[in-house]
A and B are shown apart, each in its own frame.
Chain A
Amino acid sequence: MIQSQLFYNLKKDKGSYISFGIVILITAIMLNLALVLVFQVDRAYDNKFEALDTATINVCIPQIQDTDTLKDDIKALESVSEVECREAVFLEAVVKDFRGTDFSMNTVFYNKDESRDMNKLDIKEESAESTKESIYLPLYVASFGEFGLDDEIIYEIGDKKHTFLVSGVLEEMQYGNYGKGLMGAYLPKSVYEEFASEYEEHMVTEYSIIANDNTEINALNNEISSLLEEKSITMLTSCDKASTKDTRTMVCNLLILVLLAFALVILLVSVFLCKFRISNSIEEDMVNMGVLKALGYTGNMIIGSVVLPYLMVTLVASLFGVIASYGILPSLSELLTLQAGFSFRLLFDIKGFICVETILVFIVTVFTYTAAKRIRKLQPINAIRGNSEGKAIKKNYFPLEETHGNTKLLLVLKQMFSNGKQNALLFGVSFVLTILIAFASTLFYNVIVEPNNFISTLSEEMPEIVIYPKEQHEATIVSDLQSNSDIKTVLKYTMGTVNIDDVPVTVFACEDFSKVSNDLCYLGENPDEKNEIALGSSFEGKYKLGEQIEIQNGDISCSYEITGFVQSVNYQGNVCELSMEGYAALNSESIVPSLYVYLQDGTDVESLIADIEEQHGDMISNQVNYQKMTETTQEMYAGITSIIVIVIFVLTILIALFVLYIVIKTLLVQRKQELGIYKAIGYSNWQLMVQVMGSFLPSSALAVLLSSGLGLVYVPQMNQFIFQTIGAMKNNMEVSFTFLMIFALIQIVVNFIISISLTKPIKKISAYALIKED
């Protein structure tokens, strides 16, 4: 019995249900993608860790400091279950032509053929013949750097170039990604031996340690560092499973965050929509419902016939949404594989499916039921007469006689004010959608229009050129460069590694931090004096401004006063800043800083590098076009950002379309007779379209403008939140008011165009039908 009523409802309002269904479908896609990532990515890492017997923690120490008993000593530690050690070469190398630029990173070269019980290598590709200079690359280096099998790869160490041939690509789980600034490279036995013989002073011993089952990684970390400290052994690198996972999943976690936020917003919009639709259909169907009640149907039966169509649509749409999301997953996995450094396939997830269905059905039920509840209170006789509270007219807004102004304009105002509910809905939806647009447009602005804002947030100092001078020529070349009119500034800058609390920490040392282009300091000040230091964000909990801190570098240790805290996305906050003299104090030999060169606007970097090479080629060991490197990074982000911005835009417009569709449809149904009367009086289609649009567009336009304006306040907060989750305590993202307004205007124009096409059916309402009805 009630089924026929239910199908009547479904059929009567087909368009609205379809719109609602599509919005739910989009929600389900996002939600399911996020959930599949949440449920599977973490497990994929753990499985891979297990499959390759990855050590809990890997520590490198200089080989000369290694002792015969160290392995047993480590093994004897309380939290340690197993230890394995092997030799390797650890040094800073510049990889040439890495995605078209030179990439400098700390690299650990291993003998690939040495047998391993831990940190096993999973060789994915291998070329048939092995040449003398073959090298096996981790998947990141290969895929990010764009090195294929049998390609050449050049590592520049000091001023010596080593050319290898890529003979294999492998997956390993020991290192993070470039964010950690530490990477492995794997050479066949003979190649390794020859290579190692050249760099004896860089030989290290790596201890791979597996912890007892229930040991905290931090506790293990502490035990190992105190053991090494006790024995005055320098810890060169330390790399644990947890931080490896963290750096590798950064992009994935951001993605999950964004997907969830979107799903939430869209879900919010969709439930408001169905609530709105239900209240209106109760008005429209009042008589029908009264008759049903008079016939003896109970309130719940009628509520069921209103709520069930929405539940059915939700069930079906979310099912299709889940299915559709699996169409997107492969490309998503591919994107994440690049980040993860191992390929993983995301599989059908019954848990995710059940979650999506339950969440959506539950929320839709709650909202539709509360909206439909008042059907129960409906008295049949009142319902038949069409007397519901909703229909009672409360006020004659803007009485035409007394209010000054154009009558046609006042009619629009009348409409606007007597449709308060609909305007509130549109205002809310437009406001929320604009938040997404404002966020997306700011991202767009900072990545594509002002790329430095974004890049500098994610990186350290960014000169245009980095020059590595030969020691004896440093002074000459500095003064020569400074007299070059194309060059704005030359800054001595160097990077190194020291130990703070036995943790390896990357040092940024500069002769004058007031001249840097990217001020990393987010709290306090940069170091200026010899005895001053600024620490990375990871130390913020442990130390306070003004405190003294002990820093080690090998056998030398010095004490510094903490003047500030600096951020670093790439080293997870394990960094510090020292003045050049301050850093020199930690080194027994004199340091040769690299020269960071900043150019006047509009100078051609390539030709300047060529000039410098020509004039000073014998005085320098290397030059890096840093600007090119920045550009490459920017291109990468620009690609991703453009996709995000386009997706957000398309989604917003789609949602706006569905919301407007439902609102306008409802309006036209409700006002059919009224519009007929207007037509009979002689109002033209266009006048009526303007009147109808005028009754709701201003509120949505106002919401868009207001929300865009407020973007100046909330977008920085959103950015702050997002960047903090990835470790950037302060970000250089700018919110451009002009840009916000441009996007707001686009949005308003799009809404206008959508509205015009949706109000077209007014043409089909005829004054004549008015007379013929009833």
Chain B
Amino acid sequence: MAVEKEILISAKNLKKEFRMGDTSQMIFENLSLDIYKGDFTVIMGASGAGKSTLMYSLSGMDRPTEGSIIFSDKEITKYNDDKLAIFRRESCGFVFQQIYLLEKMSLMDNVLTAGALGKNNKKEVIQRAKELFELVNIPAVTQKKFSTQVSGGEAQRAGIVRAIINNPEVVFADEPTGALNSNNSEAVLNVFTKIHNEGQSIIMVTHDKKTALRGNRILYIKDGQIFGDCSLENYKEANKEREQKLDEFLAEMGW
């Protein structure tokens, strides 16, 4: 079944090396990987394994030392900074662990600031923003609040709205629930599931098993390689069977 899926991102022979003065650290080498359209891909691994590094390479936020990344037929590894900015603007949405909303404006304005870069006119953008806020359960009163005046979960849900306001081909999320308590995490994850079920491609890095359960493809990074690749059904609800399958996979990986 996976064979029939359309490839969204194709990474070939990626190498990433950090140089610090005389010493250097190899994070991964000769890493090849395909990401499929419509997948909720979860990247797991030990701390420091290179999960974030890989994800940000795939999104054009960082450059691999060697290798190529082809993103829907575009070889983004050849792009210059400005072209990459335009690429990100058109194709990617980002959700951060620290959320990173702009402090000086309301949640709504945060979303519209991103929306201004899209192809739609302002009216359409506002309309879509309202729909998305509704989707993530943020009422109009909260939309007008500053990021410093809302709960972490609300802020992160607004962060997701901002990430998808321009209909990106893929949403990248680096531990989006890392800074949230379990109630808030649940609400945020529900949003991800919701948009995934509506066809949104998602790539998410996480440490958390509960979070990982939401994905339909789990990649495990170890020793600079994709050490394991596990497929699941699309998430509908928490069930023992799914949990067990993931547990087995992670045990195999040495988690």
A679 contacts B85, CB within 8 Å?
yes
Q: Is the CB of A411 within 8 A of B113?
A: yes
Tell me if B109 counts as interface (CB < 8 A to partner A). yes
Selected interface stretch from A399-407, A607-615, A619-627 = A399-407
Given A411-B116, A771-B56, decide whether A681 and B89 contact each other with a Cβ distance below 8 A.
yes
- A386 CB → nearest B CB, Å: 11
How far, in angstroms, from A401 to B162 measured CA to CA in the complex?
14
In the complex, the answer to whether A396 meets B146 with C-beta atoms within 8 Å is yes
Q: Which of B82, B86, B88, B102 contacts A677 (CB 8 A)?
A: B102
User: Which residues of chain B come closer than 8 Å to A408, judged between CB atoms?
Assistant: 116
Q: In the complex, what distance in Å separates the CA atom of A673 from the CA atom of B88?
A: 18
Kindly specify which of B33-41, B90-98, B221-229 makes contact with the partner chain. B90-98
A401 touches B108 (CB 8 A): yes
The chain A residue sitting closest to B87, CB to CB, is: A682
> Are A393 and B146 also in contact (CB < 8 A) when A407-B122, A774-B98 are?
yes
Contact with B along A376-412 (1 / 0, CB 8 A): 0000000000000000010010011100001110010
Choice from B85, B100, B174 contacting A684 with Cβ under 8 Å: B85
CA distance A768 to B62 in the complex (A): 6
Are B61's CB and A680's CB within 8 A? yes
B49 within 8 A of A: no
Interface membership of B112, Cβ < 8 A: yes
Q: Are B90 and A684 in contact (CB under 8 A)?
A: no
Question: Is the CB–CB distance between B112 and A682 below 8 Å?
Answer: no
Q: CB within 8 A of A399: which of B103, B106, B117, B122? A: B106
Question: In the complex, which residues 734-774 of chain A have their Cβ closer than 8 Å to any Cβ of chain B?
Answer: 763, 767-768, 770-771, 774
Please report which residues of chain B, range 63-112, place their CB below 8 angstroms from some CB of chain A when the two chains form the complex.
81-82, 85-86, 88-90, 92, 94, 96, 98, 100-106, 108-109, 112
Residues of A within 8 Å of B129, CB to CB, are 401
* Residue from the set A411, A684, A685 with the largest chain B CB neighbour count within 10 Å: A684
The answer to whether the Cβ of B189 comes within 8 Å of any Cβ in the partner chain is no
Given contacts A407-B112, A407-B116, contact A685 B82 (CB under 8 A): yes
B125 smallest CB distance to A (angstroms): 8
> Nearest Cβ in chain B — how far from A492, in angstroms?
77
Task: State A678–B112 Cα separation when bound (angstroms).
Answer: 12
Which residues of B sit under 8 angstroms from A414, Cβ to Cβ? 104-105, 109
Q: Does A279 contact B (CB under 8 A)?
A: no
Which residues on the B side are within 8 Å of A393 (C-beta)?
Answer: 103-104, 146, 148
Partner of B85, one of A673, A676, A682, A770: A682
A726 and B108 alpha carbons, distance in the complex (Å): 65
Chain A residues within 8 Å of chain B by Cβ, number: 30
A67 to B231, CA, bound (A): 131
Does A683 sit at the interface, judged by CB under 8 A? yes
Would you give the 0/1 interface string for A675-719, flagging 1 where the beta carbon is closer than 8 Å to chain B? Answer: 011111111111000000000000000000000000000000000
Set of chain A residues within 8 Å of B56, measured between Cβ atoms: 768, 771
B250 at the interface (CB under 8 A from A): no
Whether A674 is near chain B, meaning CB under 8 Å from some CB there, is: yes
**B115 interface residue (CB < 8 Å to A):** yes
Question: B146, A680: Cβ atoms under 8 Å?
Answer: no
Contact status B100-A673, CB under 8 Å: yes
A406 vs B115: C-alpha distance in the bound complex, in angstroms? 11
Q: Judging by beta carbons under 8 Å apart, are A682 and B88 in contact?
A: yes
Within 8 Å CB of A684, what residues of B?
Answer: 82, 85-86, 89
Q: Interface SS of chain A: helix, strand, loop or mixed?
A: helix
Q: With A396-B105, A414-B105 given, is the CB distance from A407 to B113 under 8 Å?
A: yes
- Complex-state Cα separation, A407 to B117, whole angstroms: 9
In the assembled complex, which residues on chain B have CB atoms less than 8 Å from the CB atom of A400?
Answer: 105, 108-109, 112-113, 116
Residue among A680, A763, A767 with the highest chain B CB neighbour number at 10 A:
A680
Q: Could you tell me the distance in whole angstroms from the C-beta of A774 to the nearest C-beta in chain B?
A: 7
B188 to chain A, nearest CB (A): 18
The closest CB in chain A to the CB of B165 belongs to A681
Query: CA A682 – CA B81 in complex, angstroms?
Result: 11
A677 touching B81 by the CB < 8 A rule? no
Inside 8 A of A677's CB, which chain B residues have their CB?
100-102
Complex contacts, B85 vs chain A, CB 8 Å: 679, 682-685
The tally of CB-CB contacts under 8 A between chains A and B is: 96
Closest to A409 in B: B116
Q: Which residues of A contact B62 (CB under 8 A)?
A: 768
Contact present for B86 and A682 (CB under 8 Å): yes
Q: Does B126 count as interface, using CB distance less than 8 angstroms?
A: yes
> Is A642 among interface residues, defined by CB-CB distance under 8 A?
no
Question: Given A399-B144, A407-B122, A683-B89, are A674 and B103 neighbors across the interface (CB < 8 Å)?
Answer: yes
Bound form: Cα–Cα A319–B96 in Å = 51
* A residues in contact with B126, CB < 8 Å: 401
A680 CA / B56 CA spacing, docked (Å): 11
Q: Are A396 and B106 in contact (CB under 8 A)?
A: yes
**A418 within 8 A of partner (CB):** yes
Q: How large is the interface on B (under 10, 10 to 19, 20 to 34, 35 or more residues)?
A: 35 or more
Is B86 touching A418 in the complex (CB atoms < 8 A)?
no
Shortest C-beta distance, B237 to chain A (Å), equals: 32
Residues in B with CB closer than 8 Å to A407 are: 112-113, 115-116, 122, 125
User: What is the chain A residue whose CB lies nearest that of B145?
Assistant: A396
Check A685–B116 contact: CB distance below 8 A: no
> Out of A673, A681, A771, which one reaches B117, CB within 8 Å?
A681
Q: Which residues of B contact A401 (CB under 8 A)?
A: 108-109, 112, 126, 129, 143
Is the pair B98, A682 in contact by a Cβ cutoff of 8 Å?
no
Q: How far is the CB of B110 from chain A (nearest CB, A)?
A: 9
In the assembled complex, B246 has its CB within 8 A of some CB on chain A? no
Out of A399, A673, A686, name the residue touching B108 (CB < 8 Å).
A399
Interface centre among A408, A677, A678, A679 (most CB of B within 10 A): A677
- The docked-state distance in angstroms from the alpha carbon of A406 to that of B108 is 15
CB within 8 Å of A: which of B117-170?
A: 117, 122, 125-126, 129, 143-144, 146, 148, 162
Q: Considering only CB atoms, which chain A residue lies closest to B114 in the complex?
A: A681
Most A CB contacts (10 A, CB to CB) among B101, B106, B113, B122 go to: B113
Contact present for A771 and B61 (CB under 8 Å): yes
Q: Is B32 an interface residue (CB 8 A)?
A: no
Among B61, B86, B116, B129, find the residue whose CB has the most chain A CB atoms closer than 10 A. B116
Q: Are A771 and B96 in contact (CB-based, < 8 A)?
A: yes
List the B side residues contacting A676 at CB < 8 Å. 100
**How far is it, in angstroms, between the C-alpha of A682 and the C-alpha of B113 when the chains are bound?**
10
- Report if B52 contacts A (CB, 8 A): yes
**Interchain CB contact under 8 A, B113 and A680:** no
* Neighbouring A residues of B116 by C-beta, 8 Å: 400, 406-408, 411
Q: Tell me the nearest residue of chain B to A677, going by C-beta.
A: B100
Which residues of A lie under 8 Å from residue B92 when comparing CB positions?
Answer: 682
User: Cα distance A401–B129 when bound, in Å?
Assistant: 10
Residues in A395-442 with C-beta less than 8 Å from chain B: 396, 399-401, 406-408, 411, 414, 418
A676 to B122, CA, bound (A): 24
Quick check: B104 and A418 within 8 Å, CB to CB?
A: yes
- Neighbouring B residues of A678 by C-beta, 8 Å: 102, 113
**Which residues of chain B come closer than 8 Å to A679, judged between CB atoms?**
85
Q: Chain A: which residue is nearest B149 at the CB level?
A: A393
Query: From residue A57, how far is it (CB to closest CB) to chain B in Å?
Result: 74
Query: In the complex, are the beta carbons of A771 and B52 less than 8 A apart?
Result: yes
Interface pair A674/B102, CB less than 8 Å apart: yes
How far, in whole Å, are A400 and B110 apart by their CA atoms in the complex?
Answer: 9
A407 to B111, CA, bound (A): 11
Interface centre among B94, B104, B108, B144 (most CB of A within 10 A): B104
Per CB-CB distance, the 4 closest pairs between chain A and chain B, nearest first, are A682-B89, A407-B116, A400-B112, A684-B85
Q: 28 pairs across A/B with beta carbons < 8 Å?
A: A393-B146, A396-B109, A396-B144, A399-B109, A399-B144, A401-B112, A401-B143, A406-B122, A407-B113, A407-B115, A407-B116, A408-B116, A411-B113, A414-B104, A414-B109, A674-B103, A677-B100, A677-B102, A679-B85, A680-B100, A681-B89, A681-B94, A681-B117, A682-B85, A763-B81, A767-B61, A768-B62, A771-B174
Extra contacts, 6 of them, besides A396-B109, A411-B113 (Cβ < 8 A), are: A396-B104, A399-B106, A401-B109, A418-B104, A681-B89, A684-B85
